[in-house]
Amino acid sequence: MNKYEILKKYFGYTQFRKGQEDLIEQILLGKDVLGIMPTGAGKSLCFQIPALMLEGITLVISPLISLMKDQVNSLTQAGVSVAYLNSTLTANQFNQVLKNSINEKYKIIYVAPERLNTEGFLHFAKNANISMIAVDEAHCVSQWGQDFRPSYLKIMEFVHKLKERPIISAFTATATAAVKEDIIKILKLKEPFSVTTGFDRKNLYFEVRKPKNKMQELHKLLGNYKNKCGIIYCATRKNVEQVCTELQNEGYLASRYHAGLSEEERKNNQEDFIYDRCLIMVATNAFGMGIDKSNVSFVIHYNMPKNIESYYQEAGRAGRDGEDASCILLYSGQDVVTNQFFIENSNENEEMDEETALLVKEKDRERLKAMTFYCHTTECLREYILNYFGEKSSGFCDNCSNCHSNFETMDITVEAQKILSCVYRVKENYGIKMIVDILRGSKNERLMRFGLNKLSTYSIMADTSEKIIRKIIDYLILEEYLRSTLDEYPVLKLTPLSPDILKGRKNLSMKLIKEIPLKEHKDIKIHNVNSELFEGLKAIRNYIAKKQRVPSYIIFTDATLKDMCKKLPKNEEELLEVNGVGQVKLKKYGGQFLNEILKFTAE
């Protein structure tokens, strides 16, 4: 079988995606390769297909049990004979798998890196015909990344013990130069053929919102995602608890995940999410590595993360199946303060000498600033992210909130003067909310009690919406004409730059959104598929998944079911044309799905 036949037979696809074919081709020529492709791009196929075509066995090294399980489930469903070796197996099971391996029962074996240099495994490996070692999540070798795994450093020690050096292929979504260099150096890749596909994820919609009340905004947002799976990231455990409890009380199928929970609960909650028993996961950034769940339709950040790297990684967990998905960030100025606090008070760097620690802090501050800018930019959000990673883009993606908004440049010198003088009048003693209230002439109780209604700046911006005033204040902070203190109740202070504005030495302008959006964002595009049939097919899929004890997307993804609804196949041959239906799955499940489709078309 050639690579196209394998692609169709086992995976049900007719076309390779960008980068896949070249990588497969080079591996088959016996070359080491390095594939750097974003999440969801389809890296697994790049080593799975050659593994099925090479003569001997392929070992796949993967850092996490959940990742292994996911891929092994998928391959098994596709009809590939495959096994894994990790700590979840009993000694008996482990020996059985080894025995089968020696008898060449598997083409692909997934191994945890810790297992490589153990006696039992070495005994097998030294005598086996190993064609390739595929290192998945290869950035784990690098101390520069956030997922460093010391056991990844032992991979080469293992390779040296083998009769012959196999082909080594490495895959990651992390593209920074330092990590790439580390991978090549530490895995001793020999003149690797390397592919870096673009970082863009076209199916992801990006949006930043600055709501006054985040919880209310979240409710509004979730209304758009009925029956959809999603992740809500919060900055702290406390926020996770609050948001999750509130959602559960409202009747949402929500679960939670953070480092403060017992290992048992974390595992259960994660499984509930993967198996669609709960639809919404509320979590800290502890959640996600190893989540290959393909049908995540939205990732909402309840708080702004600490840098763009984290944001793109977390947001990128949406839409792995290639379906439209949304990444929405709920920003508030307090998020900046919280992150600043984390940076200044982090003890993570205790092992570093003082100079290095200071440098790291400085870098962290810069990265936080870039993240904050993302929340304030009026330019294309996708372009901003891609530029950050050193990639060019067109500047208009038509799939982010800024491209869907109508901005106009406004002179805000007078507004800025009013705001700064108000801060001056209250002796730099109040936070944003009070300043806005004074400027707008609010009659709130605290304001009246303190006599702030007697100030000359009281009510001088009564005609300007609160939203706009807040935007201008955000902008002034960003441009350092104002600053917000780092206390629990932050107050606004003037800066050395403030007099330039107050004394009229400098004009300011900024892009402000016209209050009517250009076009309403279609949060979920309505696909031309019949929802009744789609639901029917989903029910069959979920039933099969339950019986087989695998997550439903491993049987068929939503994209595959939608393609069935579109193509309405009348027989097995036509069903095989559906994207994601391979020979093995056709034989196993085709009949049940065909029946449902025929029933529907007959009506």
User: Which residues sit at the interface with ligand ADP, rule CB under 6 A?
Assistant: 13, 15-17, 20, 37, 39-45, 292, 294, 320-321, 557
Candidate segments 42-50, 196-204, 493-501, 525-533, binder of Mg ion by CB under 5 A:
42-50
Pick from Mg ion, ligand ADP, none: which does 154 bind, CB < 5 to 8 A by kind?
Answer: none
CB of 480 to ligand ADP, least distance (A): 39
3-state secondary structure of 408: strand
What is the SS3 string spanning 324-384?
Answer: CEEEEEECCHHHHHHHHHHHHCCCHHHHCCHHHHHHHHHHHHHHHHHHHHHHHCCCCHHHH
317 or 541, CB closer to Mg ion? 317
Query: Does the CA dihedral 585-591-594-599 come out positive or negative?
Result: negative
- Least separation, in Å, of the C-beta of 292 and Mg ion? 6
Residue 40 touches which of ligand ADP, Mg ion, none (Cβ within 5-8 Å per kind):
ligand ADP
Q: Which residues contact 85 (CB under 8 A, 6 or more apart)?
A: 94, 97, 98, 109, 110, 111, 112, 115, 121
Nearer to Mg ion, 43 or 301 (CB): 43
Place of tokens 């080469």: 156
- Work out what residue 16 binds among ligand ADP, Mg ion, none; the CB cut-off runs from 5 to 8 Å by kind: ligand ADP
Residue pair 245/195 in contact (Cβ under 8 Å)? The answer is no
Within a 10 A sphere around the Cβ of 215, how many other Cβ atoms? 14
Binding-site size, Mg ion (CB under 5 A):
1
* Identity of the residue, 108 or 508, whose beta carbon is nearer to Mg ion in the bound complex: 108
Nearest approach, Cβ of residue 320 and Mg ion (Å) = 9
Q: Which is nearer to ligand ADP, 9 or 219 (CB)?
A: 9
C-beta nearest to ligand ADP: residue: 42
**Degrees to nearest 5, angle at CA 288 with 97 and 145:** 90
First-last CA distance in the chain: 40
Name the minimum Å distance from CB 43 to Mg ion.
Answer: 5
Closest CA to 300 of 353, 252, 268: 252
Query: Closer to Mg ion at the Cβ: 8 or 43?
Result: 43
**Whole-number minimum distance, CB 353 to ligand ADP, in Å?**
37
CB of 460 to Mg ion, least distance (A): 56
Which residue carries 């911006």 as its tokens?
Answer: 461
Smallest gap, in angstroms, from Cβ of residue 68 to Mg ion? 11
Binding at 323: pick from Mg ion, ligand ADP, none (beta carbon under 5-8 Å per type): none
Nearer to ligand ADP, 32 or 321 (CB): 321
| Per-position DSSP letters for 7-46, written without gaps between them | IIIII--SSPPTTHHHHHHHHHTT--EEEE--TTS-HHHH
152: β partners: none
Closest CB to Mg ion among 43 and 471? Answer: 43
Interaction partner, residue 13 (Mg ion, ligand ADP, none; CB < 5-8 Å by kind): ligand ADP
Please report, as a single letter, which amino acid is at residue 112. A
Q: Least distance in Å: CB of 40 to ligand ADP?
A: 5
Is the CB of 309 or the CB of 321 nearer to ligand ADP? 321
Cα four-point dihedral sign 234, 238, 239, 242: positive
Note the residues at the interface with Mg ion (CB under 5 A). 43
